[in-house]
């Protein structure tokens, strides 16, 4: 194999020899992409996944959280005491975003949802991993299990919590997951121990005054002026209430009030979000948001309410499991293809965080930028998953499972 051969091609050849039909996997990925489904509505997506596991014992397949799935691949080889754990879960998210796709692809979404965050590819990687494991159960010790975890509604309102409540992590020793990302060349890895993704709090501000005619503001109580003052004061929170070392952001992204030029409205509204990596910093910001909203509203004779809705906590990678994965990635991809600092931590949020609160593990970014192409950010209407990364994603999962479960598969 010449050095100029892409690493993914090497992994594809190895896995093809092991029985994986990547043409079929890509066809399925594009089918899922074209028929994207939204939160807790992924019924056809679930059915497509199950087509690959009809020969798995029905007792080893569970349907959770309306459209979620767990599929246990259990070994048939003699048991072993090797490895640091017995049950590992691998997770892929299933839902698309409620937005219009603008890729111009012949398999672009035909529904009201679109896979603009790579979830179609995450499923392709997990399906392929499951197929490989299913076809090599005779190499997996009988006391070892790999749980495939297909989760709905990651984009909101969140499928991880109901999956956990319904038992998806029962008996699980460790959990891992990928996210396709534009942080580096295709098939390179970006990950770190500790905080890797931010927690998020949705902020909704409502300021109520007294409506009236625009020509007589003294007979009204103007909520717009109060809300603007609140917004301006919000900008002091980070500069005056957090330290330079605190990684946090607070952004107001919408402001609405009134509808015509000669009426002072009764209500002004703002919405935004807090992104954070430390719970104590988040608590401080939320307290200041509430105090500023209420006190400035009162100063303008208005009533101000700050409705703060925690969505997902920060995603905190466990040290031991993260470094174990990174060591494997360095060995298989080369040190130059493993990044632990640049672009990290990421200010976006993920409900994989809930799994890592219950079981040790790691969330890994599998980079997707093809040579000669510009990075495309997730949630852009131009995103398409890079199928070249599928073989590498699967291969690294297999090598990690070999290491953590104490077995030999390839």
Q: Is 379 annotated to bind ligand?
A: yes
Cβ proximity of 130 and 52 under 8 Å: yes
At 2 the pLDDT is: 45
Segment 377-397 shows an average pLDDT of: 97
Residue 351 has pLDDT above 80, yes or no: yes
User: How far apart are alpha carbons 168 and 177 in whole angstroms?
Assistant: 14
Tell me the two tokens of residue 200: 């998020």
Q: In 10 A of CB 190, how many CB atoms?
A: 24
Q: Is 371 annotated to bind ligand?
A: no
Domains of the chain (ranges, CATH numbers): 7-196+314-405 (3.40.630.10), 199-312 (3.30.70.360)
User: How far apart are alpha carbons 378 and 83 in whole angstroms?
Assistant: 36
Q: Is 115 annotated to bind ligand?
A: no
Mean pLDDT of the residues in the chain: 97
* Paired strand residues for 197: 315, 346
DSSP string for 361-397: EEEEEEEEE-TT-----TT-TT----TTHHHHHHHHH
Q: Is 136 annotated to bind ligand?
A: no
Reported as a pLDDT band with limits 50, 70 and 90, residue 28 is very high
Segment 47-59 shows an average pLDDT of: 97
Q: Is 179 annotated to bind ligand?
A: yes
Cβ proximity of 202 and 311 under 8 Å: yes
Residues 6+ apart with CB under 8 A from 239: none
At 4 the pLDDT is: 78
Residue 3 has pLDDT above 90, yes or no: no
Q: For residue range 137-170, list pLDDT tens digits in order.
A: 999 999 999 999 999 999 989 999 999 999 999 9
- Residues composing the chain: 410
The phi-psi region of residue 146 (left if phi > 0; otherwise alpha if psi is between -120 and 50; otherwise beta) is: beta
Pairing of strands 263-264, 303-312: unpaired
Q: For residue range 186-226, list pLDDT tens digits in order.
A: 999 999 999 999 999 999 999 999 999 999 999 999 999 99
């Amino acid at each position: 194999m010449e050095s100029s051969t892409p690493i993914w091609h090497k992994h594809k050849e190895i896995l093809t020899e092991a029985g994986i039909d990547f043409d079929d996997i890509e066809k399925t990925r594009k089918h899922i992409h074209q028929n994207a489904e939204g939160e807790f509505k992924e019924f056809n997506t679930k059915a497509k996944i199950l087509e690959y596991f009809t020969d798995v014992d029905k007792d080893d397949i569970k349907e959770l959280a309306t459209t979620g799935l767990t599929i246990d691949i259990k070994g048939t080889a003699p048991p072993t005491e090797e490895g640091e754990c017995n049950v590992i879960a691998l997770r892929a998210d299933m839902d698309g975003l409620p937005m219009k796709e603008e890729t111009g692809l012949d398999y672009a979404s035909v529904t009201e949802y679109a896979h603009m965050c790579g979830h179609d590819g995450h499923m392709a990687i997990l399906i392929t991993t499951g197929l490989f494991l299913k076809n090599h159960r005779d190499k997996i010790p009988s006391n070892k299990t790999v749980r495939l975890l297909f989760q709905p509604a990651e984009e909101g309102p969140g499928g991880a919590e109901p999956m956990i409540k319904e038992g998806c992590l029962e008996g699980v020793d460790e959990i891992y997951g990928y996210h396709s990302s534009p942080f580096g060349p295709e098939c390179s890895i970006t990950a770190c121990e500790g905080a890797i993704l931010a927690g998020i709090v949705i902020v909704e501000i409502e300021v109520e005054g007294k409506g009236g005619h625009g020509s007589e503001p003294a007979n009204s109580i103007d909520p717009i002026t109060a809300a603007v003052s609140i917004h301006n004061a919000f900008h002091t929170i980070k500069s005056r209430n957090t330290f330079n070392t605190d990684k946090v952001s607070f952004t107001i992204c919408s402001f609405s009030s009134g509808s015509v030029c000669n009426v002072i409205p009764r209500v002004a509204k703002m919405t935004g979000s807090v992104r954070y990596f430390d719970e104590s910093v988040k608590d401080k910001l939320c307290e200041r948001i509430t105090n500023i909203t209420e006190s400035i509203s009162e100063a303008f004779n208005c009533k101000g309410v700050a409705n703060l809705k925690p969505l997902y906590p920060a995603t905190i990678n466990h040290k031991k499991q993260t470094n174990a994965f990174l060591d494997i990635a360095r060995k298989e991809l080369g040190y130059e293809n493993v990044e632990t600092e640049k672009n990290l931590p990421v200010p976006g949020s993920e409900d994989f965080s809930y799994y890592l609160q219950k079981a040790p593990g790691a969330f890994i970014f599998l980079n997707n930028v093809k040579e000669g192409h510009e990075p495309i950010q997730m949630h852009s209407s131009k995103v398409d998953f890079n199928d070249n990364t599928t073989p590498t994603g699967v291969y690294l999962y297999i090598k990690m499972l070999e290491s953590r479960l104490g077995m030999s598969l390839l």
